[in-house]
Amino acid sequence: MKRRNRWLCGFLAGFLMVMSCPVTVHAGREEAEQEKDVTLAPYFLVEGTDSSTDPFPLKGTEVTANVNGTIAEIHVTQRYANEGENPINAKYVFPASTRVVVHGMTMTVGNHVVRAQIKEKEEAKQVYEEAKSEGKNASLLEEQRANVFTMDVANIMPGDEIAIELTYTELIEPEEGIYQFVFPTVVGPRYSGRVTEEEAEADAWVESPYLAEGAPVESSYDITVNLSTGVPIENLTSSSHKINIDQGEDTKAKVTLADKAAFAGDRDFILEYQLTGEAMNSGLMLYEGENANFFQLTVQPPERCNPEDIPPREYIFALDVSGSMDGYALDTAKKLISDLVSNLKETDCFNVILFSDTVWTLSPNSLEATKPNIHSALQLIEDQKGGGGTELLSALLTAYHIPKDEDTARTVVMITDGYISDEKEIFDHIRENLGDTSYFAFGIGSSVNRYLIEGIAATGMGEEFVVTEEPEAAEAANRFRTYVQAPLLTNVQVEFEGFETYDTEPSGVPTLYASRPIVLYGKWRGEPTGTIRITGKRGSEDYMEEIPVTAESISQENEAIQYLWARKRVEMLTDYSSKTGSQVKKEVTSIGLKYNMVTPYTSFVAVLEEVRNPEGDSKDVNQPNSLPFGVSGLAVGGGYMVGAEPDGMLLILLFAMTLLLQYLYRVSRNLMSYRFDEK
């Protein structure tokens, strides 16, 4: 996943360090920061000899999710402590669901509880840095991506314990009748091709430390989910963890981890359940706020019908073969894509793109889905091994430039773990070159970048799939075929008659492939009367559903709708809108400040107004993350490690070995490319 020369450096540095014990070999951060190439990359943490500084200040994370109906209120407590002798400033990179709204934060230091204030990002950063330099306890929460946040905690004194509590709100939507609550626990190492100072600053969080494969995790993780659904719960399971279920009533359940000690926070926590009774009805929820009124419209999809005539399609499968996919993830992806390619119809045509830091295609033009062509594709796929960077945008550009038959609908299928940092560029490319092409995305792995996977599908008018283990691949492939061949609803339109609405999000409804509800948010004024009409095509038949608007839909318990609307509005502006620049920044900042929520341009900051470190000699410590379960160490290789100063002769040897291996790598790639061309 990282650039080949950098992961080789990381690997060789680790190898030389082990072979030369007790000498510790790794380049210092200062030297690395002075390099002209400022391309960012994660790196492995190697502890130095300074035992007086605590390298693992995050001691534990506790999560409590209260799911009432379809809305989850989530409380996350991060506990930081300093068991060393020096004051420290801790930084931690952590994930969240792409759908959550972070709208509350408190900091507790001893008996002091400080409620964080929402401020413009630059102002919040300035407040934090000033408090840090003055020796005060302070904390700063910033959004780096829709699903990636950073927490900074300043001046943790020896013996201190500081608790940071965050409040999230999220909507739980069913798919094919299954509700899924997902709580990500680790940010996978990202690939970044940034090479300018300005670009690198925006992605500085990418340069984060990771523990080596198999290294013990120093911090604890605990998750509790309280379900209260109003209708009986059934088939409550977790595909990711062993859980305990306490279900005293049919409509309520408490879920806890069966073995907290065994859970190292290295994969998504996934909880699935189904509901019986009338849980799947369409409906309208209204909320009257102080300054605006909000609505949430939920429309359940119709039954799927199988059209008699399925037009021929062209499928372009783009498979990620970068270093982070090596091993478990790539094996699972091979099974998935082999299933997809093997079941093509003879009237279809297809192509295969392989990408790491280089891009290859099976053929310059898409091929007919004949048995010989399918066999060649499967052999090419099976021969792949993971290595190199993740140039996903280059793969999309390659797909775009493959000649297209105007009479054939094109579907691009991306298969990746999504460990990149340039998601916005991906979304922009898809939106600007959509035409009659649809994009589907398969996320492969235990902790995929759901922001990218969901974003590809959203901007590409397709669907996303997440495959966490190999047995799920066949099921995902079957669902994909069903979706493409028999969409539930096309040409969807929503009309409001006698009900005055505005600022509706999303503004349009794409083709409905999966059996999941259509959910619209917006504002309303005037009287709650009228009718909402949803129309579309179900196969070749016309479809219509009407939902009455009445005052009975108003409830103060629907307060969360305003946060969900605000989150959807920010998402559409920052991720999927063609608007850019100051216009977007101004509107998103206004939303964040008004609704007290973290956005790309607003942050939470808390300061305890007491000088506890007058000397101002605290040390910066980056809390290391675990590698996600099943992710190869090839995903990390920043070219340097944190710790002691380098030994000159060993670094010269390291450099020479790196050049040699790079040369051999290029030669092997050229030979491989030549072999493909010959075929």
Q: Does domain 283-304+489-594 have CATH number 2.60.40?
A: yes
Determine the pLDDT at residue 197.
58
DSSP state of 516: -
pLDDT tens for each residue of 360-394: 999 999 999 999 999 999 999 999 988 888 999 99
Amino acid at 177: G
What DSSP letter does each residue of 351-402 carry, written as one string?
Answer: EEEEESSSEEES-SS-EE--HHHHHHHHHHHHT----S---HHHHHHHHHHS
pLDDT at 93 over 90: yes
What is the mean pLDDT of the segment spanning 596-611? 97
- Asked whether the beta carbons of 317 and 350 are under 8 A apart, the reply is yes
Print burial letters for 196-231: b (CB count within 10 Å at least 16), e (below 16): eeebbeebebbbbbbbeeeeebbbbbebebbbebee
Higher pLDDT, residue 197 or 524:
524
pLDDT at 281 over 90: no
Token code pair at residue 158: 């020896």
- Asked whether the beta carbons of 183 and 268 are under 8 A apart, the reply is yes
Distance of CA 431 to the CA centre of its chain: 19
Determine the pLDDT at residue 637.
59
Q: Is 313-485 in the same CATH topology as 283-304+489-594?
A: no
- Asked whether the beta carbons of 165 and 108 are under 8 A apart, the reply is yes
C-alpha pair distances (Å), 457 with each of 208, 248, 417, 516: 28, 39, 14, 14
- CA-nearest of 188, 142, 158, 168 to 51 is 158
Which residue is associated with the tokens 């505005």? 502
C-alpha pair distances (Å), 183 with each of 64, 73, 331, 452: 11, 12, 25, 16
Phi, psi of 465 (to 5 degrees): -135, 140
- CA-nearest of 400, 395, 524, 414 to 462 is 414
Angle at 28 between CA 23 and CA 30, to 5 degrees: 160
Homologous superfamily in CATH for domain 313-485: von Willebrand factor, type A domain (3.40.50.410)
Helix 423-432 to helix 392-401 angle, to the nearest 10 degrees?
10
pLDDT band (50, 70, 90) for residue 647: very low
Distance of CA 389 to the CA centre of its chain: 18
- CA-nearest of 673, 307, 667 to 487 is 307
What is the average pLDDT score of the chain? 85
CB atoms within 10 A of CB 320: 29
pLDDT at 665 over 80: no
Which residue is associated with the tokens 């649809």? 438
Contacts of 560 by beta carbon, 8 Å cutoff, 6+ apart: 71, 73, 169
Alpha carbon distance 418, 519 (integer Å): 26
Higher pLDDT, residue 436 or 366:
366
pLDDT band (50, 70, 90) for residue 215: confident
Determine the pLDDT at residue 310.
62
- Asked whether the beta carbons of 157 and 612 are under 8 A apart, the reply is yes
pLDDT band (50, 70, 90) for residue 199: low
Alpha carbon distance 38, 60 (integer Å): 33
For the chain, how far is it from start to end, CA to CA, in angstroms? 27
Determine the pLDDT at residue 216.
82
- Asked whether the beta carbons of 136 and 153 are under 8 A apart, the reply is no
Determine the pLDDT at residue 579.
65
Contacts of 119 by beta carbon, 8 Å cutoff, 6+ apart: 127, 593, 602, 603, 605
Token code pair at residue 77: 């407590």
- Asked whether the beta carbons of 366 and 350 are under 8 A apart, the reply is yes
Token code pair at residue 641: 């490690």
Amino acid at 235: N
Token code pair at residue 420: 């990149």
User: CB-based burial of residue 446 (10 Å sphere; 0-12 exposed, 13-18 middle, 19+ buried)?
Assistant: buried
Token code pair at residue 37: 């190439």
What residue ranges do the domains of the chain occupy? 55-189+213-276+601-622, 283-304+489-594, 313-485
pLDDT at 75 over 60: yes
Which residue is associated with the tokens 């801790």? 90
Determine the pLDDT at residue 307.
61
Determine the pLDDT at residue 15.
45
- Asked whether the beta carbons of 415 and 466 are under 8 A apart, the reply is no
Which architecture, in CATH terms, is 55-189+213-276+601-622? Answer: Sandwich (2.60)
pLDDT band (50, 70, 90) for residue 664: low
C-alpha pair distances (Å), 636 with each of 26, 41, 329, 565, 668: 15, 7, 15, 37, 22
Which residue is associated with the tokens 């390619």? 341
Lowest-confidence region among 108-117, 230-239, 466-475, 640-649:
640-649
